[in-house]
């Protein structure tokens, strides 16, 4: 049985305007809409498509987070995943801890392929997939804009500075997805209802033998500086004069 394991993260919905706490200790999350990280949603869509083409027999979606993360896992089940696994932990952990926890699931499930988004839109670390591949001692192909499975190998096309690059990696492997790989499907109500009956297992991070260490300390979170009001100009000469006035041009 060939399995695909998809790693997702619960993040603030990309349509929500981010607000910083008054004391600068973090981001306001109370009462804020949460969703699957968009890059992870693309990874899940690709896994479901591979299953629909007969390349995989089962898609498992896994996430690490608080109890509320079950909501995002249920969305993943509604999108077409067969099973879900929540590694429950109520406080934020660093990417290396997440990768170690996912490795435990990988060792248990023995998937043909692990797919995850290239990065999360909340912290933009882009580290978990790479760390998982290193810990698993398997090949990795990051920022995929196209994915083809050929027997025991995968062809991954990715965008680089000079154009397009195609890599061939042996399976099992870890692939992280870019925006251009696909467009996730719209989840309809019947799929949401069916997802309620699908299997969702809960594991406790503290019971998995994964060390939870804090290597970094957030000193302060601050919003970006407010943009200056724009100036309308009538022609190119006035634009040049304004740029000179601001010291951009000499």
User: What's the pLDDT tens digit per position in 72-120?
Assistant: 999 999 999 999 999 999 988 999 999 999 999 999 999 999 999 999 9
Q: Locate 28 and state its tokens.
A: 């306001």
Environment class of 15 (CB within 10 Å of its CB; exposed 0-12, middle 13-18, buried 19+): exposed
Residue from 140, 202, 208 nearest 175 by CA? 140
* pLDDT interval class at 205 (50, 70, 90): very high
Residue 39: the pLDDT is 96
3-state secondary structure of 234: coil
| CATH architecture designation of domain 3-245 | 3-Layer(aba) Sandwich (3.40)
Give the pLDDT mean for 116-125: 92
- Distance between CA atoms of 158 and 165, rounded to whole angstroms? 5
CA angle 172, 1, 96 (to 5 degrees): 40
Higher-confidence position of 213 and 121? 121
pLDDT in tens, 146-192: 999 998 999 999 988 888 999 999 999 999 999 999 999 999 889 99
- Residue 136 and residue 15 in contact, taking contact as beta carbons nearer than 8 Å: no
Q: Which residue has the tokens 């660093």?
A: 94
Q: How far is CA 138 from CA 104, 134, 165, 198, in A?
A: 14, 7, 20, 30
- Distance between CA atoms of 74 and 72, rounded to whole angstroms? 5
- H or E stretch covering 42: helix 38-52
Dihedral sign computed on CA atoms, order 212, 216, 221, 225: negative
Q: Which residue has the tokens 């692939």?
A: 175
Give the pLDDT mean for 25-42: 92
- H or E stretch covering 247: none
- Residue 95 and residue 117 in contact, taking contact as beta carbons nearer than 8 Å: no
- Model pTM? 0.87
CA angle 156, 161, 166 (to 5 degrees): 20
């Amino acid at each position: 049985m060939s399995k695909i394991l998809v790693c997702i993260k619960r993040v603030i919905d990309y349509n929500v305007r981010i607000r910083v706490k008054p004391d600068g200790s973090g981001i306001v999350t109370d009462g804020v809409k949460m969703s699957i990280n968009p890059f992870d949603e693309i990874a899940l869509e690709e896994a479901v498509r591979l299953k629909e083409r007969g390349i995989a027999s089962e898609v498992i979606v896994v996430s690490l987070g608080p109890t509320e993360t079950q909501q995002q896992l249920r969305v993943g089940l509604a999108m077409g995943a067969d099973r879900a696994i929540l590694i429950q932990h109520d406080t934020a952990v660093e990417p290396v801890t997440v990768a170690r926890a996912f490795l435990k699931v990988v060792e248990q499930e023995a998937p043909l392929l692990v797919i995850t988004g290239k990065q999360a839109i909340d912290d933009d670390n882009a580290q978990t997939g790479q760390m998982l591949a290193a810990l698993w001692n398997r090949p990795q192909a990051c920022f995929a804009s196209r994915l083809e499975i050929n027997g025991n190998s995968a062809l991954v096309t990715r965008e680089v500075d000079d154009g397009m690059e195609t890599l061939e990696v042996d399976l099992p492997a870890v692939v992280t997805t870019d925006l251009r790989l696909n467009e996730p499907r719209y989840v309809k109500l019947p799929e949401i209802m069916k997802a309620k009956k699908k299997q969702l297992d809960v594991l406790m991070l503290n019971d998995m033998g994964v060390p939870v260490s804090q290597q970094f300390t957030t000193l302060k979170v601050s919003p970006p500086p407010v943009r200056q009001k724009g100036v309308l100009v009538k022609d190119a000469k006035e634009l040049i004069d304004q740029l000179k006035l601001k010291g951009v041009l000499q």
